[in-house]
Structure 1
Amino acid sequence: MTHSKIILTIAAVLTLTACADKNPAVASLTIKVTPPADYSASETIHLVGSFNDWALEGDQAYPLSTDKGELSTTIPVTEKNVFFTLVKNKNWQLMPANEMAKSQCIYLHQATGDDAEMAVHIPLWTGDKPLKTAEPSLSGNIVQHKDFTLPQFARSSDIDVYLPKSYQHNPDKTYPVLYMLDGQNIFNAQSAHSDEWRIDELLEQLTAAGTLDEMIVVAVPNSVHRWVEYNPWDFKDRDGKAAQGQGELTIRSIKDTLKPFIDSSYRTKPQSANTGLAGSSLGGLMAIYAALAHSDTFGFTAAFSPALAVENMHGKNVLFEAIKQQQTIGNSKIYFDMGQMEYGNYEQIEQLNSLLLKQGFQAENLKLVKDDLGRHCEVDWSRRFPGALKWLQAGI
């Protein structure tokens, strides 16, 4: 080998070494899983998450393997926050549930840059028979109105009303009212689909500490037709078929029937500036719709992780199209948020914010929160609730 070639070879080695120093070995996360007691070796369990684009098939799939009776798998950690869950038999309907057979939130691992282990216990899969019954978890003064008639849907619904601590002791005081959709998840672990929001506990603590002002909260549960009743516009359903949204009827059931009852039964501040609507996911879509179409009733709204993937039969985003066509802009305050993992980035929620501003909403009436740790579940919506309500209460 000539002298020049030796020099070039040494230079190449030094370059590779320098590159290696700049790109250290990727850290790993080993996830060890304790499956339900009736687990069978014939079942498959796959780990899916942000690290593999939630893939169940192909080269990106991560099936759990058994080693000395322990189920585990190891994944590379290339991002600060790793979101993941587990799927049984490649069926998205079979995911981790707690002992009450209620679905659990997506798991979160916050990386430190070092190799790590994480233990996950799965009591049940969604759809399994519960191991125990969920206990009631109501706190404070909650009045339950059983079988409240909603003529808009020709059915009845159980309505729960949270009254502030001072309500019984201060008969001259009146209160703002917040209506919350998916009401079965708001106060009570027993009725919640998965986790509850714990709004009663939060308000008891935060109003006692003076962090939040007192208000009445009315929990309005959904029906088995939630997908239709929480869509304000006609849309393309999960099977690609045209579906007629009944979201307007849902708002009318609150505006024309429930709100007059609440205002006549309790000491409320009935004006629109003191009346709010909040919801998550499709309920968040409804909250934004209320601000667009019913600002005369709802002066403030909160949309937690609003559903931003609903399309019409032309493949257009139903919410974005509605905003573009909005003729009049009310004075409603809108809080809306999103977790980064929910859509993989913040592009859609930023587009929503831009469209609202372009259409005439005042910047001071909009509050966008981006949550890098946010997941699509009640646990994180509850965590963001105090901040949302504190901003909305300003000026009430």
Structure 2
Amino acid sequence: MILYKLVAVAVLGLATSVVGQRALAQTTLHLTSLPVTTPAGSVIYVAGSFNNWQPAAPGYALARQPDGSYQLTLGAEITGPQEFKFTRGSWETGEAAAGFQPLANRQANLGPGPAILTYQVASWQDQRPGAVVASPKAHTLAANVRVLTDSFQLPQLPGRVRRVWLYLPPGYSQAGRQRYPVLYLQDGQNVFDDATAYAGEWGVDETLNQLRASGQDPTGCIVVAVDNGGDHRLDEYSPWVNAEYKKGGEGDQYTNFLTLSLKPYIDAHYRTQPDAAHTAIAGSSMGGLIALYAGLKYPQVFGRIGVFSPAIWFAKDSILSYERRRPAPR
């Protein structure tokens, strides 16, 4: 059994208010002041519910203005209740309240009309007296894991590419003609490497290697892990749009990518057992939701499904209705 290490973080937010409007924009975040100790040349980012809480997400850096303020206009699709914080590119260098006290998530309910939300950053966490800035996390992936490519194209979602990780079981290169079952995992950033994981890696490679070494898994398996799409994670991991978050709706394209593009490539280039009985798909949270959907949609491809703490809430009525309409596998 693959062991996951999942960490959930719950925080409260601080309400903000709309203080202006902009004729041609939807919502603009405007930082009017930063601590005087902010290092010169710092890039200021916003991380929140609209970009999977990535502290240095491309496209979410605020632009410095001639008056020394910073601002970013969010995409028109970002509406409704949102939570966020400002960072200098990492959570270690995220914002803090006055006196370097912990700061709850900022909150705003973004309406359909143009608006400017104005904020100030009181302090930075890493500048707290006695604070130690964490060193970059060390890579922890096992020797039999590698990045297959960092730019696998998703033809079903034109213009998007994805990093794909590959785990080959110990002894694969010496096994001659032996073929292996395959497990496809979502949120690939979290699967093998602590340096890329959101809240600690899942330890899939170490666990499988230990099972093999102890004789509990004499044959082994291939693992293919696909990074999530960052800003597009919620969109790609649900076929249905969530009315509150206004995200989702690209799950069909994403599962088609897995089934019609990625799996054929893996089967053509590695010694797989390509039938459904030896092909599994799994994921956690939103990744669990899309793994469940993929298994229901393509039972002739994915004969086994691993669903861990699935985000059923995101598409509850839709996924349950879909499941009831699917014929039971034979």
Offset, 1:182: 0.4
- Which segment drifts farther, 177-186 or 145-154? 145-154
Distance change in 2, residues 1:283/1:102 (3 Å): farther
Picking from 147, 153, 170, the partner of 1:144 is 147
Asked whether the equivalents of residues 100 and 132 of structure 1 are also in contact (C-alpha less than 8 Å), the reply is: no
Offset, 1:293: 1.0
Mapped to 2, the partners of 1:124 and 1:55 lie a distance apart of 9
Mapped to 2, the partners of 1:143 and 1:179 lie a distance apart of 15
Asked whether the equivalents of residues 152 and 164 of structure 2 are also in contact (C-alpha less than 8 Å), the reply is: yes
**Which position in structure 2 is the counterpart of 1:235?**
242
Structure with max Cα Rg: 1
Partner AA of 1:235 in structure 2: N
Give the alignment's TM-score, normalised by structure 2: 0.59
Distance change in 2, residues 1:233/1:56 (3 Å): closer
Residues 179-233 of structure 1 show CA distances to partners (whole Å, capped at 9, x for unaligned) of 0000111001111122110111111111111223400000101112101100022
Partner AA of 1:254 in structure 2: L
Offset, 1:149: 1.6
**Which position in structure 2 is the counterpart of 1:280?**
284
Structure 2: gaps of 5 or more residues: 1-8, 15-81, 95-100, 106-123, 127-132
Residues 284-322 of structure 1 show CA distances to partners (whole Å, capped at 9, x for unaligned) of 1112112211101100010000112124xxxx6222222
Asked whether the equivalents of residues 291 and 330 of structure 1 are also in contact (C-alpha less than 8 Å), the reply is: no
- 1:319 partnered with 2:319: yes
Structure 1 moving runs of 4+ over 3 Å: 54-57, 91-94, 99-103, 122-130
Offset, 1:164: 0.3
- The equivalences for 1:284-299 within 5 A come to 284-299=288-303
Higher helix share: 1
- The equivalences for 1:13-162 within 5 A come to 101=92, 131-146=134-149, 147-154=151-158, 155-162=160-167
Picking from 202, 220, 228, the partner of 1:222 is 228
Two-structure CA RMSD over aligned residues (Å): 3.2
Offset, 1:124: 11
Residues 322-353 of structure 1 show CA distances to partners (whole Å, capped at 9, x for unaligned) of 223x142225xxxxxxxxxxxxxxxxxxxxxx
Between the two proteins, the alignment pairs up a number of residues equal to 217
Mapped to 2, the partners of 1:317 and 1:179 lie a distance apart of 26
Structure 1: gaps of 5 or more residues: 1-47, 58-90, 104-121, 332-396
Partner of 1:235: helix, strand, or coil?
coil
Asked whether the equivalents of residues 140 and 165 of structure 1 are also in contact (C-alpha less than 8 Å), the reply is: no
Mapped to 2, the partners of 1:161 and 1:140 lie a distance apart of 11
Give the alignment's TM-score, normalised by structure 1: 0.49
Distance change in 2, residues 1:102/1:255 (3 Å): farther
Distance change in 2, residues 1:206/1:102 (3 Å): farther
Offset, 1:245: 1.1
Asked whether the equivalents of residues 236 and 248 of structure 2 are also in contact (C-alpha less than 8 Å), the reply is: no
Mapped to 1, the partners of 2:254 and 2:192 lie a distance apart of 21
Mapped to 1, the partners of 2:236 and 2:125 lie a distance apart of 27
Picking from 261, 270, 275, the partner of 1:271 is 275
Asked whether the equivalents of residues 282 and 305 of structure 2 are also in contact (C-alpha less than 8 Å), the reply is: yes
**Which position in structure 2 is the counterpart of 1:248?**
252
Asked whether the equivalents of residues 212 and 220 of structure 2 are also in contact (C-alpha less than 8 Å), the reply is: yes
